Every structure is written in structure tokens, then in C-alpha cells.
Chains A and B, each alone.
Chain A
Amino acid sequence: MNVNMVTCGGQATIPMVAAASRVQAVAYGEIVATVSSRSVGPGTRKNIDEFTRTTAGAIEKVGGAKKGKAIIIINPAEPPLIIRDTIYCLTEGEPDQAKMTASVHEMIKEVQEYVPGYKLVNGPVFDGKRVSIFLEVEGLGDYLPKYAGNLDITTAAAARTAETIAEEIVAGKLVLEPALAA
């Protein structure tokens, strides 16, 4: 089984798009991921187009927005800044503020189970049909520096995915077949 972890920006933001779209229809979801230059390796640098497209695609397919848009900003500041993410959702109808806020807070808790440094900094802020959510992701700092939460979140998400698959195998819900690597 091959599992795609999307991108670090996607791991951080798509749960928020999903938190909005499970309350009501989201016509447009946009995310802005700001990461420190030092935490971005040569792979991302050579494939930034794939980062932008994959994240935008997953905002639609996984997040549930009808149209997705991703913007990545690589910040060269020294000392390096912690990863910050902004999520904008344009809802089809007027947003149900109470339900939307509760859904966002619930989802934050859910992600914190595997990414303890996942933090809501501000929002959800409502302005007409626009819902804005502001996050930061602090890494554990046990090997990589704390500002590189973008690297930690992908590792944590992969471990979480593997655990979920393992739980299903143990429960007899999933049987993996041997396959050659693609």
C-alpha cells in the first residue's frame, strides 16, 4: 500500500479546511504556508511546483473545498521563523459561527494527539462568508529544531497513518497483500 503524505503545508492546513467543510459547503479554500528557508530541503526547492499543485489538489480532495488554492512562502529570515499557516475558507452560505468555531477547536485537539505543537494562534475570524484561521506548528525539538514544525508534522502524520493501518490489521479489518514497489 502506498500512502501519500501530501505536503507539510497540506498536513497543517487541510484538517482546518475539513473542519469548515464538515459544517457547511466551502466554495473556495486557500492556504498560505510560511516556512523558514532553513527547513526546506533540496527536494522541495527543485519541486516547488509539485508542492503548490499537490497541496491545492488535496484542499479539494481531502479538505472538501470545491476549489483549492495553495501559496507557499519561504522566509529567509535569521533566526529562522516557526512555520505559520493561514487558512481562508469562503463558504457558500453565511457561516454558522458557533458550529464552525466548535468544529475548528475539535479538529485542533484531534491533530494535537499526534502533533503536540499544533496551535491555533487566532480565529476562526468571520468576515461575511470568509472564515480565516491562523496556526503555527512547533516541532518537538528532539532532533530537528523547534521552528521546523513543518518537518515534524509530516513525520508525525506518517507514524499516525502507519498506526491506524496497524490497528485495522490487528482488528482484522484490513489484509495487506504483498506488492512490488512502484
Chain B
Amino acid sequence: MNLKEKKVAAHDIMLRDGMQPKRHVMTLKHMKDVATGLDRAGVPYIEVTHGDGPGGSSVNYGFPAHTDEEYLSAVVPLMKQAKVSALLIPGIWTVDHLLMAKDLGVHTIRVATHCAGADFSEQHINKARSLDMDTV
């Protein structure tokens, strides 16, 4: 593969998807320690929150040790260069979670659906873009 003139950006999702094996009960200290380490190492994007994204807190997916607000508020202000992202899954989260993420300084929104249901994400992609958030 020719990567010449291609820009590759690393996006670390350990503090979001990594919450699954931790049963969503990571402490704020653990979260901050890992995030500041990744930031120092120069990782440009770091994803934070419940393992199923904001709003994932439930009987079905598991109740986290802290709310999404608490995790994001703990990590975002400590970042020197890294941008914080959030995974938003239509059907789990609502626009309220998006506004919360925007308020807390989340930079990037990753909207996820099954590949066969991409049109479920239209409403949320448009909303995130209208808030001037980096939306993928």
C-alpha cells in the first residue's frame, strides 16, 4: 500500500471500548491516568465514556461507575494536545447526550450503525455537524 501523501491519524478507543471488559466500572483516576499518558505520547484522538457510548448506562449494557458527564469532565480539561471523541449510537443515545458532549468540550462525534442501517444516522450526523463538531 502506498501511504505517500496519505495522512494517518491514530484514534484510541481504549477508554470507551476498553470499558466493556472492565464492565464499565473504571475509576476516574484510572481514566485520567490513561488519558494523560496517551496525550503525552502524542495520540491525537481519545474516545471516552461508557462502553456503548453516551447513554449506554442501562440494565441491558451495564451501569457504569460514573456518569458520562463525570468521565468527560475529568478527562477533557487535562488534555494538552489530544482531542476527545464520543461514540454515539442511534437508538441508544439522544440529542440530549450530544448537547451534553458538546458542552463538556468533546471535539469529535463518531456515529455508528450497522452497515445495513446507515440511514438511521442521518438525523444525528446532521445535528452534530450543525453544532460544528467534527463528525464521522
Contact = CB atoms under 8 A, between A and B. Distances in A.
Interface in B97-136: 113-117, 119-120, 122-124
A179 B68 CA distance: 45
A48 B124 CA distance: 9
A90 B59 contact: yes
Given A30-B58, A30-B59, A45-B119, A74 B94 contact: no
B93 to A, nearest CB: 8
B94 A71 contact: no
Contacts of A45: 117, 119-120, 122
A76 B114 contact: yes
B44 interface: no
Q: Is the interface of A mostly helix, strand, loop or mixed?
A: strand
A32 B124 CA distance: 20
Given A37-B116, A76-B114, A88 B59 contact: yes
Contact of B122 (A28, A46, A88): A46
A71 B58 contact: yes
Given A71-B92, A76-B114, 14 more contacts: A28-B59, A30-B60, A37-B114, A37-B116, A45-B119, A45-B120, A46-B122, A47-B123, A48-B90, A48-B124, A51-B91, A52-B94, A73-B91, A86-B60
